[in-house]
Structure formats: structure tokens, C-alpha cells
Structure 1
């Protein structure tokens, strides 16, 4: 057989038989939901001035802008204080649920609604980190990001262990109820004409996909329909994961090439100026100390440009890529402290995590599990949760809302 045909067949098999990068997508899920949650909690006392009725960007001004750019936000459905508090609470709740990995299919959709609703309400309030969260919130909807490190994965594992012991486990009842409630909630704005045709298609399409999954799980007499749905879900997941990786590369590549065109980046002094802006100097003494060494400023300036431009090309060499990942994550951690941009840095670190090696993430999960076990059991070691490859071949995706045989 032609070697090219063999390679093509192997590639098709790889992207259809499994959802790739389960640990990477779990890190993205945890990283972005935690970043958004911390931001919402940090700005809770100022929520009225940022996104609510007291915002400088008034409700009428936001309505006029949205009428032209057609951005999605449910905050524009009403200008009442009660509605704003409900939406803000929904954003916090969905972030917690996605962080824990509870019904990640539903939680990811609610997370996207919360992010888009608040950010599109006051478009001039955010920074580059908010833009990254904005995009990743959309991409996460199409991933199977609850395969590991989630309550969904724990529920799936307990269900399979119970079956292995010969115990009878009843059908999942929480999933159908949850999606039934969400269907009723979606029907209200649909009948009121609040959603555009595009968003109606997306939301009802997602809802119908889960309904189809439930019908197949409950009614299908053979395993073929479930296998077909798994293949489709894997293809969608892998395509979304590829888009996430491409988006991260695009962010660094465009940032690096734009920096090259700036005169301050060319002469090696660009880093000096933000260190002397009050807005970016939470620790003035530290900023003065760093900016007092001209050689360090020049090296950091040129190093930033080199790393950002080179990173997309290092993906072809695993060792170099891992080294640059360490450099970029360290750089973002320094930015969080020195320039006072913690949420921007957390968002970028979460985006970088998609390129972390699986072996490292598995070890990291083991360390966290053992530390948690030692903390809550008086020093006893905790059990490391099995990865997706350790589950039976026919095990369904734990992120799906309705799994016959799994307890909630």
C-alpha cells in the first residue's frame, strides 16, 4: 500500500477514535474558568460601574453599538437592576460549575453566555486577557473537556467500578432534567424574538445534539449509533482543539511581528516605559529596581520579541517548545506581579497550557491528588484518578449529560 495512503488512514483513525488532548483541554477548562471566576469575585464590589446600570458606558450607548455590530449579550434584554444581578450571578455560578467539571456540556454553554454577556455589555472595559477569555469561552463549548480532572470523570469512574463489581446502577436522572430546564429557558427568549437566527441555530443545535445523544443512549438497540455519535463528537472536539492551538500561535505571532515594527522595540527600550507608568506600577520600588539596569531592560525587550515570533515554529521541536513554554509562563508570572496584570497573565498562561506535554500534566495531576489525599486523610496518600485511556473501550464520554448506569 502507498505510504501516503497508510499515513492518511492512520491520521483519520487517530482523529476519529478518540478526543485528543484530554489533559490539555482539562487544563484550559480549569484555567479559563478559574481566571474568569477570580475576576468576577475581585470586581464584585465594582460590578455596577463596570457592567451594570452605573457604568460610564450606559445601557443606551451599549444598545446603539450592539445594534450595529450584532454582538451577543443577554444583558441587553432588560435594563433592570434585578436582571443585571441575575446575569452576574449566572456568570459566577457557571464558572464554578465548569471549574469543577460538573455537567461540562451544559456548564460550558452557560459559561460562554456569561462571558459574552458581560464583556459585550461594556466592550471598552477589558484588555488582551479578556479577548482571550472571550474566544476560548466559545471554543470550549465544542470540546470534550470533562474527560479528566472533573466531577463528570469521577461519576463515570464510579459507575464503571460499580458495574465491575456486579452492582446495578440506576439511570442518570439529573442530565435530562437539567437539559429540560435549559430547553424551557431557551424557549422563552426564542418566542420573545430576543435571539438572532445565528444564535438560535447554535443554541437549539446544541440542545438538539444532547437530546439525540439521550435518545441513542436510552433507545438504541445496537452500539453502532453510539459509535457514530462518538466519532462526530471526537471530530468536533479535535477540530476545536486545533483551533485553540492555532489561536494561541496567532496571538504570539501577531504580537511579535507588530512589536518588530515599533521603534521602541527595535532600540531595546520598550519595556522601560510601562515600568514608569503609575497604572502599571503596583510596586514602584520593584519597577525602579528593574528599570535601573539598562542591560536587563534591553535583554527582556529583545527576548520578548524573539520568543513570541519564534514560538509557532518551535512546535516542530518538542524540546525547544517546552523550553520556550517555561520562558513564556515565567514571563507572564513576572508581568502579573511587576505590572499588576494578574488576570491577563492567568489567561495567557491558561492558553499556553494547551502545549504542555501530557506526561507532565499526568504527573502534575498525581502530585495534586496525593497532596489532596495527604491534606484530608492526615498524611495518607490519595489515589490518582485514571486517565481516559484507562477506562473500558466502550466507556462513554463522562461529560455527556445522560449516561445510563451512572449515578449523579
Structure 2
């Protein structure tokens, strides 16, 4: 009885409001979380932007520049702040091209993670400026990226997989240009801002999934399991018509896929409470968005959602994945080396037998 009472008292102590608040404060200010996830988000967002900018290069003036006056009434009706609309000039093609090339350069710098703290706000400003020139070319991905990039201004986006990280390792213990200024900033401030950005990004992804699932429940096609059929049969979204046609003709796959997307999005907030279910939900939704990008061509939206999903994977889990992958590659290389040595050593046995060999 005493042991059971002590256990119950321990659980009550852990779940008390004071302990929960203390634990949350410690989580918020002790260390930065999801740094690998934010680095992947930086890379995926940059790829999504380049997938918008580079394929549209030939039609850039018609879509956003001097030839896009046809969309001006709708763009002004949306009420964008006027200074944003001055970044990409519609009256001067040369100035527009300079801004367009600058945005591509910023996306490339963001991709490799060079001077990320300075590049991120300028990239956000230019991305918003391009979006302000037209409002008819969106698919949800650019809107989501604009919102998340505001949060990402306060996150550490270049801790991993970046030129900034390589430069920090190369510099080692040598003092940086702003190290004296950083020493005056409290140590808890940087983790606080980073983790607050993480919370806001997670709130954004939860909001998207929850609202999307509730709206799906109001549609008869999602309940009956035919929603994917109608989406894949739209010729406007058929990037690979033969593949789309082959998929929507598989009735069991269409029904299971429709219900799977509905159930996973609806239960996503609850699935986050348990690690195995969280990883299953993240993997399932990431595959779903990859399919949306492949079959419907909505790559900016799909990549933005995948990037946000990956924020829910802890750094320790990414490190375990890297260790497993490294171990598999090491064993593979060893197996190949052993096979090559065995073939080389056994090569003499495969040569034709000659009188000289028989005498030996």
C-alpha cells in the first residue's frame, strides 16, 4: 500500500500545475529544440521558392511584372501594404528583373544557409513583395511560407546542413565579429525565441490540419471515399496524366487513401501525445503531401507542409536515423570490399589450368 501511494503521489506531483509550469519554463529556456527540423525547413522552403521562380522565369513579366496589369484590380482589392508593392516594379522591366534575380539569389543563399540571420528577413520581404503583385497564382504554399517565415525570423535555421555551421566549425574558438555583443545578451533569450518560434509553427500546422479535417467532414465526397477520384480526374492538375489516370482507376486505393487522409488529419492533435503515433502520423502525412505534389503538381504547398511536419521529429530521433543510415552504409562498403577481395583472391583459381600449373 505504501508503494502504491508513493507512486500515485509522484504522478500527482509531476502533473501538478506548479511542476508543469516549471518543466515548461525549463524546456523553453534551457536549450534549442528541433534544430535539425528547422534546418530541413530552411532547405525545403528554399527549394519550394525556386520551384516557383525558375520554371516561371520566361513568363515572369506576364505573371508579376509589366504584363500583369490584368490582375491589378484584384491585387489592389486584397489591400496589400503599398511599400510591399514597390519592390517589384510593374512600370520598369529592368528594375523588376533586378528584384527577380535578387530574390533567386536570396533563395539560393537561404538554401545553402549562408548568413542566414541576415538573409531571412530580406528574403521574406522580397517574397511578400512578389506575392503582392498578383493574388491569382497561389495554391496555399506561398501563404503558409509567408506566415512561417515570420516565425522563423526568431529561430536558428542554420545549426545544421549550412555554410554558417561549416564556418563556425572552421572558426573554432576564435572570437567572432559580434561575440562581444552576444555576451551581453542573456543566455536564455536565444533558446526562448527559438522555442517560441517552434511552438508557433506547430500551432500553425495543427490549425491547418484541424480546420482542413473539419471542412472535409462537411463534404459528402470525403465521407463516401471518392474525393481523391474527383481531384485526380481534373485535367487542370494532371502533371502526369497517365499516372493520374492509373491511380484514380484503382477504386480500393482511392477509398482507402481518402479515408486515411481524413482520419490522420482529424486525429493529428491527439496523435502527437504519443511518440509512436506521432511518427506514424508525420510519416503518413508527409507521404500524402508528396503524393499531392507528384500527382497534382502543388509542390510549393506540399513541400511547405512536409517541412512543417518534420519539425515534430526530435533532434535525438534524427541523430538515431543518421547513426542507423551510417551503420548501413558502413556495412555495405565493408561487404563490397570483402566481395572484391574474395573475387581478387579467387581469380587465380578461375584461370585455365596449364602444364606449368600442374607441375607446380
Shorter-chain TM range is 0.7 to 0.9
Distance 2:125 2:70 in 1: 20
In structure 2, the partner of 1:11 is 24
Query: 1:320-331 counterparts in 2 under 5 A?
Result: 320-331=277-288
Change (3 A) 1:29 1:263: same
Name the larger-Rg structure.
Answer: 2
Matched, 1:334 2:287: no
Contact 2:65 2:88 in 1 (8 A): no
In structure 2, the partner of 1:350 is 307
Matched, 1:87 2:96: no
In structure 2, the partner of 1:38 is 51
Distance 2:320 2:248 in 1: 38
In structure 2, the partner of 1:111 is 123
Shift of residue 247, structure 1, vs aligned partner: 0.4
In structure 1, the partner of 2:255 is 298
Shift of residue 131, structure 1, vs aligned partner: 1.8
Q: Which runs of 5+ in 1 are unaligned?
A: 164-168, 173-213, 372-378, 380-408
Specify the SS of the correspondent of 1:79. coil
Which of the residues 117, 133, 139 maps onto 1:121? 133
**Where does structure 1 differ by over 4 angstroms across 4 or more consecutive aligned residues?**
363-371
Distance 1:324 1:219 in 2: 42
Specify the SS of the correspondent of 1:102. coil
Q: Which runs of 5+ in 2 are unaligned?
A: 1-12, 329-335, 337-360
Give deviations 1:69-121, integer Å, cap 9, x for gaps. Answer: 43734436663112211221121111111111111110111110121111121
In structure 2, the partner of 1:130 is 142
Contact 1:73 1:113 in 2 (8 A): no
Q: TM-score, normalised by structure 1?
A: 0.70
Specify the SS of the correspondent of 2:59. helix
Distance 1:135 1:24 in 2: 17
Change (3 A) 1:171 1:360: closer
Specify the SS of the correspondent of 1:355. coil
Distance 1:367 1:88 in 2: 42
Shift of residue 231, structure 1, vs aligned partner: 2.1
Distance 1:96 1:326 in 2: 27
Which of the residues 236, 240, 265 maps onto 2:222? 265
CA-atom RMSD in angstroms: 2.9
Which of the residues 282, 287, 290 maps onto 2:239? 282
Across the two proteins, how many residue pairs are aligned to each other? 316
Distance 2:288 2:256 in 1: 13
Distance 1:139 1:122 in 2: 24
Contact 1:139 1:244 in 2 (8 A): yes
Which of the residues 166, 171, 181 maps onto 1:159? 171
The answer to which structure, 1 or 2, has the higher relative contact order (CA under 8 A, 6+ apart) is 1
